[in-house]
Amino acid sequence: MIEKIISFSIRNRLIVLGVAAILFGWGLYSVDRNPVDAIPDLSENQVIVYTEWMGRSPQIIEDQITYPLVSNLQGVPNVKSIRANSMFGMSFVFVIFNDDTDIYWARTRVLERLNYAQRLLPDQVVPTLGPDGTGVGHIFWYTLDAPGFDLAELRTLQDWYIRFALQNVPGVSEVASFGGFQKQYQIAIDPHKLNFYNIPLSTVLSAVKSNNNDVGGRTFEMSGSSYLIRGLGYIKNLDDIRKIPLGTFNSVPVTVQDVAAVQTGGELRLGITEENGQGEVVGGIVVMRYGENARELIDQVKMKMEEVEKGLPPGVKFKIVYDRSDLIDAAVATLREALIEEILVVSLVILIFLFHFRSALVAMITIPLSVLIGFILMNVFDVTSNIMSLGGIALAIGDLVDAGIVMVENAYRNLSEGEGVS
């Protein structure tokens, strides 16, 4: 069989050159289209269900949220296992699917079960799906370098401006914020004053909720024009909260400020984020979606950050903490150097020992062509370019070089002895 292939190739050189040219072009296209990353994604095919119920102990979270969710997620098609973790105020359920399951099909099936399990959970507790990213999806970290700004201001800027802008970049699954203080309007109720005015706690909660709302009305026609009527009732500052009425005591109106201290503060934090021991910082983590090209996505995120930085307050700048593109470039450069060096070494060896340029040309063509064919197969089997796959190609070049030298030397010897195939 091999002899027939060799004979056919010798007699039909133009066809062989044409096929080689097609493979070369296809290989270049595959190199350009193949996703590039530094770390191979060996994480499991999973869907994360996150549920928040702040202020509850881990035991309550386990009994009233985690257990009902895990029980109802049993039986989802293609599920390999289900793991769960309950902590203070939060529940995490990890649904592990088979490796060949489409991740977005899996997320849809989990969402169907969550709609059914919602009725078993406490009121106002809503489970949500985690981002459609992998365990190695954290490709880019940044912090905000802003001397003179407090942590609450920077966290507000991150949550309400920067995060939304970066999430618009195609391929970004989530921009997770970290550090700082999330601003809250806090009402510290004095139970002794509630008891004095004989006002239950539920009345305070209901009054604050009902007084922070816009209401709509019908249209009003006058002089041939139609006007929309609506009531504007959203809270805008602390004084609006203080003046919310709760009832009367001896014909005297009682407001929130009579039974509570109203202030702004930060949400309860379970940890802090600092950089190089120089103090707390605020920043974000860019999470990549499944199957995206990490190198191209990082470039797009950096371009978007340049646009966003123009709209930031004076003195606020981005500071890159972790950029995986450096490691990606190093991995690609390693393969490029290995390929160039081995082509040069093989060509020099053949030229020195055989002193025959056409023989050296065989190795110079077959080595890069074989590498390009490898990239074609990587695209077919959805294998990304990473440290492991590129390292495998670099090692395989050594084996290919050995075979090329042996075959060229043998062909040259046969030709020199006049025993070439006619």
Would the pLDDT of 333 be above 90?
A: no
CATH fold group of domain 184-263? 3.30.2090
Q: What is the pTM of this model?
A: 0.77
Query: What does the pLDDT average to over 84-101?
Result: 91
pLDDT in tens, 262-277: 998 888 787 788 888 8
pLDDT in tens, 15-40: 888 988 899 899 889 888 888 877 78
CA 335 to chain centre: 27
Would the pLDDT of 50 be above 90?
A: yes
The DSSP H or E segment spanning 24 is helix 13-33
pLDDT reported for residue 148: 84
pLDDT reported for residue 290: 84
Starting at the earlier edge strand, list the strands of the sheet with 79-87: 79-87, 90-97, 45-52, 128-129
Query: What does the pLDDT average to over 412-420?
Result: 67
Same fold, 41-130 and 184-263: no
In angstroms, the CA 347 to CA 316 distance is 55
pLDDT in tens, 289-322: 887 888 889 999 999 999 999 989 998 999 999 9
Q: According to the CATH classification, is domain 2-38+328-416 in 3.90.550.10?
A: no
> The domain 135-182+267-320 belongs to what CATH superfamily?
Multidrug efflux transporter AcrB pore domain like (3.30.70.1320)
Question: What is the DSSP secondary-structure string of 248-305?
Answer: EETTEEEEHHHHEEEEEEE---S---BSTTS-B--EEEEEEETT--HHHHHHHHHHHH
Confidence band, pLDDT 50/70/90 cuts, at residue 420: very low
pLDDT reported for residue 257: 92
Identify the CA nearest to 155 among candidates 163, 97, 297, 254.
Answer: 163
pLDDT in tens, 54-64: 888 999 999 99
Identify the CA nearest to 137 among candidates 286, 304, 321.
Answer: 286
pLDDT, the chain, mean? 85
Would the pLDDT of 358 be above 80?
A: no
pLDDT reported for residue 285: 93
CATH fold group of domain 41-130? Alpha-Beta Plaits (3.30.70)
Domain boundaries, the chain: 2-38+328-416, 41-130, 135-182+267-320, 184-263
Q: Which residues contact 52 (CB under 8 A, 6 or more apart)?
A: 89, 90, 91, 125
**How would you label 238-276 residue by residue, b for 16+ Cβ within 10 Å and e otherwise?**
eebbeebebeeeeeeebebbbbbebeeeeeeeeeeeeee
pLDDT in tens, 140-183: 999 999 888 888 889 999 999 999 999 999 999 999 999 888 88
CB atoms within 10 A of CB 290: 15
Question: Quick one: what percent of the chain has pLDDT higher than 70?
Answer: 97
pLDDT in tens, 236-255: 889 999 999 998 888 889 99
